[in-house]
Chain A
Amino acid sequence: VNAGWLTTALILLPVAGALVVWILPLRPFAVGSTALLVALAEVALWIDAVARFDFNKPGLQLDQQQNWFSDLHVSYHVGFYGFSLWLTGLTVVVLAAATGYAVWAGRERPRAYYGLMLLLTGAIVGVFVAQDLLLFYVFWEAMLIPLYFLVGVWGGPGRLRATLLFVIYTMAGSLLMLASVIVLGISQGTFDLISSGTSSSDWIFLGFVAAFAVKAPIFPLHAWLPEAYRESSPEVAAVLSGVVSKVAAFGFLRIAIAKFPGPVSDFRTPILVLAACGLIYGSLLAFRAPDLRGVIAYSSLAQLGLIMLGLFAVNDLGLNGAVLQMVNHGLISATLFLLAGGIERRAATGELGRLGGMARGRPALATVLMTTGIIALAVPGSSAFAGEFEILAGVFTTGWGYAVVGAVAIVLAAMYMLRLISAVLHQSPGPAVSEAALDLRPAELSIVVPLVAILLVLSAWPAAITDRSFSGSATQSVAQVFR
């Protein structure tokens, strides 16, 4: 039985939840709890989808199609592939954790806040499941709107400047993508991603690339990133770097790489070079960043460069590794941002120079931060190592130089993550750390420990994802445009 309704339900449940918290006159606390319940129900729905999904079968599953504008061949067409199922899982889990964190921390104007968070969830899931170009674009834009508000209204003191940068950059990208969507749809005679063929147009390709590259972001289009990640509330930063950047990487895989085999091979070298530059650039800046958020933000830039290396290697190792690393990095950076939020609450600052010595008497914080940090620096044996290893092994066959750059980045990653860990946990307490600063509370633990637990399970069994992202060979799957 095709359970296509499940996919639609995954989109509609959070949207309905958003409407409920907007319309019903609930008390602030009840609003948060309702939102959290909806987010958890969404996770349950996703687990149901995994249970129903047949990972050995090629092509789209749990799909549903309804005509929308039949003369333009636009339809509401949704469904899952293995890799989009994992990315959706990442989304619902991280959004649930982010919602949980917001409930714990308390946010002003809760009805608007949680409504936007839920709307955001629905829109991101929509991007991952959309099988129609126009639908993809609609969800893409629908995802950005709540983000503008979440950064701009609930952010820190510099939020307006951050939002302005973020809006202008992403709008520019989106406009180019809109044009590409329209031209591609009209030239193909259909907007359906399944039934349309591939295109050889460089310009349409670049339009998509612009949007995705801004959103990821890819060096040097990342000017909005440090401000946005620093000024948002921790849970929004977690969603931005954990999930929204993956939407862009997903776009590269689902549309840019699958639909434009010709342009991909034309533009592969410049893209790989930019990705490699971003990897080193981000790692070096992360090593010098003066604050917690800065380190995580620039490491995020570096990791996106790495994921791009894997994607544009366009071979089995690279693609599988990239999907695994998307999930890894999503969980890692979300956890790190939420922990950074917890630390900032205690010390009232994220400046590394004013922190320190927090391990003493705070075993839970020390254990969780240490574990996450160690996975983040991809210690061999961790799931992040598995992802990086596949990516670099994949790009090695494309050009060994990229793998050497990646190897240098492994060392740099060790340097910046250990710096962060030590600056927070070790040596004597910094001026901003008071004796009274508490260890992680049970509520905070219940938010971050599940994320870390997933990372540990993935470390024991990364093949859970690599073996279930593409049916058979990833390269073949991409070459046949996932049919």
Chain B
Amino acid sequence: MIVAAWICLLSPLAAALAITLAGNRLSRRGAGFLSTASVAVSFVAAVVAFVALLGDSPDDRSHYSTLWSWLTAGQLDFGLRILVDPLSTFMMLVVAGVGALIVAYSIGYMDGDDEERRYFAYMALFVFSMLLLVQGGNLLMLLAGWGLVGLSSYLLIGFWHERPSAIAAAKKAFVMNAVGDATMALALFLLIQRTGSLNFEVVFPQAGSFGGWAANLVALGLLGGAVAKSAQLPLQTWLPDAMEGPTPVSALIHAATMVTAGVYLIVRTNPLFEAAPRVLELSAGLGAATLLMAGLIALVQVDIKRVIAYSTMSQIGYMFLAAGLGAYSNGMFHLMTHAFFKALLFMAGGIVIHALAGEQDMRKMGGLRQLMPRTFWCFLVGALALAGIPFFSGFFSKDAILASALAQGWYGDVLWVAGLIGTFLTGLYAFRMVFIVFLGEPSAFVREHYHELKQDVVGRALTWPVGVLTVLAAFGGWLQFPPLWTPVTTWLDPVAKPLVEASGTEEAVSSIAAVALGLAGIWVAWLLYGARTATVPRYARVQALLEHKFYFDEAYDAVFYRPAVFLARGLGRWIERPLVFGSIRELSEGVRDLGLGARRLQTGLVRTYAFAIAASLAVVTVVFVAVR
């Protein structure tokens, strides 16, 4: 099992190194296959680890393995260490499984790009980093994986590095994530000070003894990392810009895996969060606020990828809501189903974009159902799962989250209402997209630019992963149907025991309300964009607010970036210049004066020089001895 886990972790790293070092000796297609194969190997290894873990008794399913001491200082020792337990295998299966499908899809999507090799090396590097994040056996390894996924995300967002917008988006994503890394590092420093370790099994049992403020600070620091990585309020602004990257990247990193890392973090470090209940409530509140905000913004987006991006932000809001209420397994379950249907939406959307020669503006699309019926049905399944329509996968997972909220006092009720409004918005924006893109008659733009997919390697690579994901998005939710059967909760129970359990009534009430509102959203979307019997209401103020994404970018620019630039310029002008040029002026004048004086001292007699040197030494010495 341990060997399988190490193979799972290292196989994509090996592929990334091999592709980088091989350079032109490896064909482009070869790089794609190597990358795919390495992630597939990871998936198989994850399955092996999972099966082996099934054989253990539920209380004995945590296995650590240390390769070597990574970093040491005196008594402190942070190992290069992985953990195989129910939570990490769950994530390994999702990451490697969905990852393998998306990398395979990339073989088709990236075909013909002249830097394909670099792309596949980055993809493999990303999968390695993500696996390190979820398998890390102490908080330092987790943080290492955390930073490396941020790095791979930067590299892939900026993959088309000649586009200024792509580079700007990549830098923005990296810097925002660096803010999260920094707050996490501070939390880790506090933990080191308190416990002298970063190993889960040492730190977690002591969480209760930190006392109020220390526990709160640790949890806040970790939450800072989580909201940055998962694009939640207030560090959410980088995600929509990240859509500058190739579409499979959006599917893998900015939908299915990396952005959900914040949820994983909260679930993994749940003892630290439970020691700070106010912070846990804060994360649930941030999740609820984000899901509403992102749902609203998604209504006015015209770029198909950005709609899906805001939808991702909104869905992760649900996961944060769940994790913040202590409904850990429900959050993880939604993470899994979301990975299926969101990857599906991105990849089906990618086929549309591919067929329209790279166009992403929905206003130019329309009527694609007639031209690409299979893609339409796949996309529709994804949208239905996203909207939580029975019995697609999102239905099971989202309703479980809402039920947990309902079971959790007045605060939970508030969040429940927010979540329900969110389901209405979800139905509305998801089907707005479906209707605009696929219904009606093909637009002039579509007729001009549409081209059929060829049924060669490229075409097959694009289609079969989408098919697999369609099946998963349609049926993956049956894995857990609370309260009738709950294998996911049972599986995760040893690592993250839920703080809340919803009753059958609460489940039923939440389901009925959520489905009703989801259908209502779809119905409104039909009236506005399908049948077009109603016109879209326009309120200029609201429109501007949503199109400017609630002005977060502008605010951050004014509050952080500009002052930093201003400060840097001020320091340069008022301190650095006087310091450097002042020294130069003083010194050159000083030296000239000294030279004039020294000319008279130049006697040419060695005796005089020797005496001068000895005398000055003596003076300095005497001065120092006296001063002591």
Contacts and interface: CB of A to CB of B under 8 A. Distances in A.
A284 B568 contact: yes
Interface in B166-182: 167, 171, 174-175, 178-179, 181-182
B498 interface: no
Given A360-B162, A380-B148, A381-B145, A179 B624 contact: yes
Interface string B113-137: 0000010000000000100100000
Nearest to B616: A175
Contacts of A169: 583
B354 to A, nearest CB: 24
Contacts of A357: 162
Interface residues of B, number: 72
A374 interface: yes
Interface in B130-169: 132, 140, 143-148, 150-151, 154-155, 158, 161-164, 167
Interface string A266-286: 000000000000000100110
Contact of A287 (B147, B183, B568, B579): B568
B467 to A, nearest CB: 35
Contacts of A204: 624, 628
A379 B150 contact: yes
A223 B627 contact: no
Interface string B179-205: 101110110111011000000000000
A414 B174 contact: yes
Nearest to A203: B627
Give the residue among B80, B188, B580, B591 with the most A Cβ atoms within 10 A.
Answer: B580
A165 B583 contact: yes
Contacts of B162: 357, 360, 426-428
Contacts of A385: 144, 147
Contacts of A222: 579
B12 to A, nearest CB: 14
A425 interface: yes
A139 interface: no
A389 B579 contact: no
A222 B145 CA distance: 36
B572 interface: yes
A393 B188 CA distance: 8
Contacts of A203: 624, 627-628
A63 B214 CA distance: 48
B186 A407 contact: yes
Interface in A153-203: 161, 164-165, 168-169, 175, 178-180, 182-183, 186-187, 201, 203
A311 interface: no
Nearest to B619: A179
Interface string A229-248: 00000000000000000000
Interface string A404-448: 100110111011001100100111100000000000000000000
Give the residue among A360, A394, A396, A425 with the most B Cβ atoms within 10 A.
Answer: A396
B71 A463 contact: yes
B542 interface: no
B609 interface: no
Interface stretch (A6-14, A66-74, A121-129, A467-475): A467-475
Contact of B564 (A165, A287, A396): A287
B617 interface: yes
Interface in B583-628: 583-584, 587-588, 591, 617, 620-621, 623-625, 627-628
B624 A220 contact: no
The DSSP consensus for interface residues of chain B is helix
A419 B168 CA distance: 10
A359 B155 CA distance: 13
Nearest to A371: B20
A380 B143 contact: yes
A474 B565 CA distance: 39
Given A175-B620, A203-B624, A380 B144 contact: yes
A411 B175 contact: yes
Given A178-B620, A317-B73, A223 B175 contact: no
B186 A403 contact: yes
Interface in A337-371: 357, 359-360, 363, 367, 370
B174 A422 contact: no
A83 B345 CA distance: 55
B583 A381 contact: no
Interface string A442-483: 000000000000000000111100110000111100000000
B535 interface: no
B167 A284 contact: no
B74 interface: yes
Contact of B74 (A180, A374, A426, A474): A474
A386 interface: yes
B69 interface: yes
B68 A463 contact: yes
A379 B71 contact: no
Nearest to B147: A380
A284 B164 CA distance: 23
A418 B624 contact: no
B192 A463 contact: no
Given A183-B625, A390-B73, A220 B579 contact: yes
A357 B579 CA distance: 35
Interface in B399-442: none
Interface string A370-398: 10001000011100011001101110110
Contacts of B145: 380-381
B499 interface: no
B628 A461 contact: no
A291 interface: no
A129 B213 CA distance: 47
Interface in B331-380: none
Contact of B147 (A180, A367, A381, A396): A381
Contacts of B181: 380, 410
Give the residue among A288, A319, A363 with the most B Cβ atoms within 10 A.
Answer: A288
Given A316-B76, A414-B174, A414-B175, A288 B70 contact: no
Contacts of B20: 367
A257 to B, nearest CB: 16
A53 B153 CA distance: 42
B567 A284 contact: yes
A242 B73 CA distance: 24
B158 A223 contact: no
Contacts of A161: 584, 588
A407 B182 contact: yes
Give the residue among B68, B178, B193, B617 with the most A Cβ atoms within 10 A.
Answer: B178
A474 to B, nearest CB: 6
A408 B182 contact: yes
B133 to A, nearest CB: 10
B390 interface: no
Given A220-B579, A427-B162, A379 B148 contact: yes
A320 interface: yes
A133 B576 CA distance: 35
Nearest to A319: B73
A226 interface: yes
Given A165-B583, A381-B148, A410 B175 contact: no
A321 interface: yes
B621 A179 contact: yes
A187 B144 contact: no
B167 A426 contact: yes
A379 B193 contact: no
20 contacts: A165-B583, A178-B617, A183-B621, A187-B625, A187-B628, A227-B584, A288-B572, A316-B76, A320-B72, A359-B161, A367-B20, A380-B150, A380-B181, A385-B144, A389-B188, A404-B186, A411-B182, A415-B171, A460-B80, A462-B71
The 9 A-B pairs with the shortest beta carbon distances in the complex, nearest first, are: A380-B147, A316-B74, A381-B144, A407-B182, A284-B568, A396-B189, A320-B73, A223-B583, A414-B178
Given A288-B568, A316-B75, 13 more contacts: A161-B584, A165-B580, A179-B620, A223-B580, A288-B569, A317-B192, A320-B73, A393-B188, A393-B192, A396-B190, A410-B178, A414-B178, A473-B75
